[in-house]
Amino acid sequence: MTALWVIVPAYNEAGRIGQTLDALRDQTDTDFTLLVVDNGSTDETAAVVTGFRAPFPVHLLVEEEKGVGCAVDTGFRHAIAAGATLLARTDADCLPRPGWVAAARATLTAGAGLACGRITARHDEHGPAGRAFFALLVGLAAAFGRVRPAHRDDGYLAPYRMHAGNNMAVTADLYQTCGGMPRRPSPTDRLFLNRVRRTTSSIVHCRTMVVENSTRRLRAYGVLRTARWYLDRGSDGLTPDPR
């Protein structure tokens, strides 16, 4: 099968990354290589990863340059140099559902350059009401993104639709052609999507590529400060990596 690598950036995620690794081990399609990029953690993240056993190869790479964009870009380029032609990414506090890898592979091999999946709130963090509220916020953010003037100029080859970096897959060719992930702290998702939109219209939103997303940033910042953060307006002095 086509060489697929899954990239997981991580920073001080010893308490959560084990669940993410288990979710990847439970995939229906396990014909992939896993690369965890440790962004200079000071906890036992690396030990959790090196102790993990799975039916696929597992690699750990350390990226000291701070910022999730740096970790992702280093990981993607490392995978491409090792022969990856398809790349998928989730985060170390997220839970990909069992069909996630299979859906990513199918979407890319069917001709998409970028596959954007669907995010939902983690079930272990919220009840039905909390998950419904999270879905409402995601919908509002997506609607705002479509009307934002910065997303609507003539240089884009595809319409804007919200893209979650913790649930994406891209071909190696497109990743390199568009310039890759911005090497900066979060948020990077919108900037990367717009790089892709300036390069190709081959962007598919795949509803069967599902990741359960942590909402700890929302709990740490609140609704308004979370919105400010994702608009690149800062988080009023709060860290971009709430723990």
- pLDDT of 230: 54
Q: How far apart are CA 38 and CA 176, in angstroms?
A: 22
- Of 87 and 136, which is predicted with more confidence? 87
Count of other CB atoms within 10 angstroms of residue 138: 17
Is residue 71 pLDDT above 60, yes or no?
yes
Read off the pLDDT of each residue in 183-189 and give the average, rounded to a whole number. Answer: 82
Q: How far apart are CA 243 and CA 192, in angstroms?
A: 25
- pLDDT of 127: 76
Read off the pLDDT of each residue in 168-196 and give the average, rounded to a whole number. Answer: 92
Concatenated DSSP letters for 9-60? Answer: EESS-TTTHHHHHHHHHT-S---SEEEEEE-S-SSSHHHHHHT---SS-EEE
Using an 8 Å Cβ cutoff, are 7 and 79 in contact? yes
- pLDDT of 229: 54
Concatenated DSSP letters for 178-226? Answer: HT-S-SSSSP-HHHHHHHHHTT-S-EEEEEEEEEEEP-HHHHHH-HHHH
In CATH, which superfamily holds the domain spanning 4-230? Spore Coat Polysaccharide Biosynthesis Protein SpsA; Chain A (3.90.550.10)
- pLDDT of 242: 46
Residue 106 backbone class (left: φ over 0; alpha: ψ -120 to 50; beta: rest): alpha
- pLDDT of 214: 84
What angle do helix axes 223-230 and 128-147 make, rounded to 10 degrees?
40
- pLDDT of 142: 65
Is residue 226 pLDDT above 90, yes or no?
no
Q: What percent of the chain has pLDDT over 70?
A: 81
pLDDT tens-digit map of 41-56:
999 999 999 999 999 9
Q: Which residues pair with 106 in a beta bridge?
A: none
Is residue 234 pLDDT above 60, yes or no?
no
Read off the pLDDT of each residue in 72-101 and give the average, rounded to a whole number. Answer: 97
Q: What percent of the chain has pLDDT over 90?
A: 65
- pLDDT of 184: 86
Read off the pLDDT of each residue in 90-117 and give the average, rounded to a whole number. Answer: 97
Read off the pLDDT of each residue in 44-73 and give the average, rounded to a whole number. Answer: 96
First to last CA, the chain: 38
121: three-class secondary structure by DSSP = strand
pLDDT tens-digit map of 123-143:
887 777 767 776 677 666 666
- pLDDT of 162: 75
- pLDDT of 231: 54
Most confidently predicted of 6-20, 180-194, 227-241: 6-20
Length of the chain: 243
Q: How confident is the model at residue 243 (pLDDT cuts 50, 70, 90)?
A: very low
Q: How far apart are CA 67 and CA 75, in angstroms?
A: 13
Q: How far is CA 63 from the centre of its chain?
A: 17
pLDDT mean across residues, the chain? 87
Phi, psi of 71 (to 5 degrees): -65, -45
* Beta-strand relationship, 95-96 and 114-121: unpaired
Q: How far apart are CA 126 and CA 104, in angstroms?
A: 26
